[in-house]
Amino acid sequence: MIKVEEVHKSYGDLEVLKGVNLEIKEGEIVSIVGSSGAGKSTLLQLIGTLDKPKSGQILINNTNTSVLKDAKLSLFRNKHIGFVFQFHHLLPEFTALENVCIPAYIQHIKKEEAEKRGIELLTSLGLQERMHHKPSELSGGEQQRVAVCRALMNKPAVILADEPSGNLDSTSAKELHQLFFDLRAKTNQTFVIVTHNEELANMADRKLVMKDGVIL
């Protein structure tokens, strides 16, 4: 479902990715580990179309995202890719439900339809009593589950998670890790997870180790 072919990426004179090749199947949970500066987050950003490679190409469901222009790329990203970050990036002035619905609003889905799916997602993750609370009224674990609901809103092909449990206590982190596998069991959701958490990395179907801009 995801194909990364001979991808190079540089920032000025600094070569961060040095010919990365990677294939990920639908329904796989893949973890990417390595020391800081190995290129993990850069690779995730490229797969997520937040940046473009210097050379090589990235295909998601047979679409070469490396050649899409900005407007089409934004539409593709919104429809096919969900993001979960270490810091939840929830908008503080909006409720949990409103935050979850934002990707659907960007796609011009009707408010009633978006809210119906948002309620279903929040309920499925045990947040039915918290959906009208603002982020400041939620625990860290609850905020991260809201972020997962937001990532799932448009039924993406893949969810990309960058240190998703890095800001959580150990109990909340374990619950989040289990949530990924529960979602995969229910919906065959694909995950690519960059993490320093060895427990999460080892739970994945495959653990990829990066060093000096390549996958070992």
Residue 3 clears pLDDT 90, i.e. is over it? yes
Task: Give residue 137's pLDDT band: very low, low, confident or very high (50, 70, 90).
Answer: very high
pTM for the whole thing?
Answer: 0.83
Q: What percent of the chain has pLDDT over 70?
A: 99
Task: Give residue 22's pLDDT band: very low, low, confident or very high (50, 70, 90).
Answer: very high
Residue 32 clears pLDDT 70, i.e. is over it? yes
pLDDT computed for residue 201 by the predictor: 87
Task: Give residue 86's pLDDT band: very low, low, confident or very high (50, 70, 90).
Answer: low
Which tokens is 60 given?
A: 């998601």
Q: What is the mean pLDDT of residues 130-147?
A: 88
The crossing angle, in degrees rounded to 10, of helices 111-124 and 140-152 is 130
Rounded-to-integer distance, Cα 3 and Cα 208, Å: 15
The CATH class given to the 2-91+152-215 domain equals alpha beta
Chain-centre distance for alpha carbon 194? 9
Please report, for the chain, the start and end positions of each structural domain, with discontinuous segments joined by +.
2-91+152-215
